[in-house]
């Protein structure tokens, strides 16, 4: 359990909760505690889906600029990979992951949201990658995951301008998946992932790995990857239960095995 980030578990949902007021700035400690919470959520079979949440007021308003301001190239050349890996640990959670965004998701906060599978956004929230205004670029997925999500032209607009994106635009361009009143963000995130809590965990894991991994491959390699994952699921209890339930015209009772 970290001092600034904790993994709260309740009824199959693991909530990675950022708690560094007032703005949840992602200093080195927060980054490493995010990595630890993501690793724990990955390993814990009782966690079937994950919500990343910064609280009722703000998701995360970026990196800790005071911490970064005096860092040299030598300092950052060794730290940059760790920063990327910390948020990458969230992207690699082999379970459904949703960001519940209130207030601001800027810079590293936006990159943390991009590492999730979906984003539920408050109607008054602001998202963006303002690093260009500091003379730098996003360094933890902002240039890569954003471009894959909204396309290169829109990503260049957002990254090169450093402007904020409101909730309505975020929904229109695919940066947000749902927009709800701020008070409903966390409950909406719970409802989004609820259907996966009783689903076939190994098949859900395989589907996510197939999609995410396949995006990094050429089509021929990705289809071969998909075939391997598809065949492997025939070794699971849930595959046998799912097919038996279909034949017997009943609801399957998946165990995650």
Return the active site residues: 111, 131
Helical spans, DSSP H, in the chain: 28-43, 65-68, 73-91, 108-114, 145-150, 152-161, 167-173, 185-193, 201-214, 219-232, 237-247
DSSP 184: G
Sequence-distant (≥ 6) Cβ neighbours of residue 28 within 8 angstroms: 64, 67, 79
Nearest to 41 by CA among 15, 17, 5, 60: 15
Give 106's Cβ-side CA count (13 Å radius): 22
Contact 180, 188 (CB under 8 A): yes
> How many Å apart are CA 185 and CA 213, to the nearest integer?
29
> How many Å apart are CA 133 and CA 144, to the nearest integer?
19
């Amino acid at each position: 359990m970290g001092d600034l980030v904790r993994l709260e578990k309740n009824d199959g949902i693991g909530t990675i909760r950022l708690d560094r007021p007032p703005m949840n700035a992602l200093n080195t400690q927060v980054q490493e505690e995010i990595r630890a919470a993501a690793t724990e959520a990955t390993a814990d079979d009782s966690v079937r889906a994950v919500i990343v949440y910064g609280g009722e007021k703000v998701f995360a308003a970026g990196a800790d600029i005071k911490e970064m301001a005096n860092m040299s190239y030598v300092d950052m050349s060794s730290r940059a990979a760790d920063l990327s890996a910390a948020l990458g640990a969230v992207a690699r959670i082999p379970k459904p992951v949703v960001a519940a965004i209130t207030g601001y998701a800027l810079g590293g906060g936006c990159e943390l949201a991009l590492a999730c599978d979906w984003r539920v956004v408050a109607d008054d929230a602001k998202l963006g990658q303002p690093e260009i205004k500091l003379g730098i670029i996003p360094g933890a997925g902002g240039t890569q995951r954003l471009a894959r999500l909204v396309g290169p032209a829109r990503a260049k607009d957002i990254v090169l301008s450093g402007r904020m994106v409101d909730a309505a635009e975020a929904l229109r361009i695919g940066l947000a998946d749902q927009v709800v009143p701020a008070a409903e963000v966390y409950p909406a995130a719970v409802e989004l992932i609820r259907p996966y809590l009783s689903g076939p965990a190994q098949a859900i894991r395989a589907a996510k790995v197939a999609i995410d991994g396949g995006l990094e491959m050429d089509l021929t390699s990705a289809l071969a990857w998909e075939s391997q994952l598809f065949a492997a699921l025939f070794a699971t209890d849930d595959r046998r239960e799912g097919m038996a339930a279909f034949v017997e015209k009943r609801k399957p009772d998946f165990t995650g095995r």
